[in-house]
Amino acid sequence: MLKRFIKKLVSGAKERFNKSDAHWLKSLSSHPNLFHLNRNSVSLAFGIGIFCAFIPLPIQTIATVFLSLAIGANLPLALTVIWISNPFTIPPMFFLTYKLGSILLNSTIEDFNVELNWQWFSNLGSDILFPLFLGSFLCGILFGLLGYFIVLMLWRWQIISDWETRRAERKKKKVNRI
């Protein structure tokens, strides 16, 4: 059922690329892995999507598109996966990555209130942003690789399960013939 939903999502995205007036988008739709569901493109999409979800800047979508094009991951799926960082999950994600970065840099974890003005950003922002970026990069790499390998293993498990089911059905048919 999930595979059918993903196929529907991917085929719709490919059709929109082909109907686009931008000619450079039409050439992208011919890339073999950008819109096809195979073990490699799906696992890469999950790895890229999870990595980019940990980017603490509003460039997650752009980074996901460029990485998917460069590596050859399934583009619609990678763009969907980055939504693990949504308005509900961003605060705990980035707080934990900030704590990780602070621990790794042996800096004190600042108790702060966010004020959206230039003075706060210039004074306290540098003390917070460097640990945040370090923790986010490390968590993105770690969880991106973890997601990549989990999807590879789940895909392989599903194929083996399907093979065993077919083997059991063939064996059952063979026994019924005799």
13 pLDDT tier (thresholds 50, 70, 90): low
Q: What is the pLDDT of residues 22-66, one digit of tens each?
A: 565 566 666 677 777 889 999 999 999 999 999 988 899 999 999
CB 45 within 8 Å of CB 70: no
Q: What is the pLDDT of residues 135-168, one digit of tens each?
A: 999 999 999 999 999 999 999 999 999 999 999 8
DSSP class of 88:
T
Distances (CA, A) of 31 to 5, 45, 80: 21, 14, 19
Instruction: Give the chain's mean pLDDT.
Output: 84
Share of the chain above pLDDT 70, in %: 76
Mean pLDDT to the nearest integer, 1-10:
63
| For residue 119, pLDDT beyond 80 | no
pLDDT recorded at residue 2: 59
* Closest C-alpha to 34, from 82, 6, 75: 75
Mean pLDDT to the nearest integer, 123-130:
76
More confident residue, 7 or 171: 171
